Amino acid sequence: MDRARPLPSRRRLLKGAALAAVPYALLPSTPASAGSQAVDYPDVEWRPASSSNYTASDRPMAYSLDRVIIHVTQETYARTISIFQNPEKKVSAHYVVRSADGHVAQCVREADVAWHAGNWDYNTHSIGIEHEGWVDQPAYFTDALYEQSAKLTAAICDTYGIPKDRAHIIGHFEVPGTDHTDPGPNWDWVRYIRLVNFA
């Protein structure tokens, strides 16, 4: 009959547990997946643009933020995100709003400079929001799109102290030097600014 081994001391058990934990403490943390990246606005999906399509920055420290620029994609929601993720396209926006349900994706952090306005000064001082649709097809400008976009714009304005008016919430067509016409004549600015102010 074998003799029973003596039980290890409490000190020896704690020492062994500490040594076993060391390799895990030295490992780098698991990188966040595309869906779990911290976003700047609650309840949005993180769909990151290629780092070739925006400029990393530290706004509002590096550049003050004083306007929101409203765009219309001239593409579908999915295709727009795909374009932003293509490193050869050299374009991005901070957010994309889907027409059918107002779902919002964030593609560039607000601290970084998205390449959306076609004007470096305007890019550095603004947040760009793309809206799924075409300027000549007003059916894309749904109630859900207007409402969710207005909530997003209101939150951005509140965060950075941007006035909620047409001088500071502008269309892409109002950017100096642009040849774009979006959001176009079918965009209801009166309704949109009212929704922003009541959000």
Q: What residues are labeled active site?
A: 130
Q: Check residue 125 and report its DSSP letter.
A: T
CA distances from residue 101 to 97, 104, 144, 147 in whole angstroms, order as listed: 9, 9, 5, 10
d(CA 1, CA 58): 72
Which of 170, 77, 85 minimizes the C-alpha distance to 127?
170
Residue 95 CA, chain-centre distance (Å), reads 5
Pair of tokens at residue 28 = 């780098």
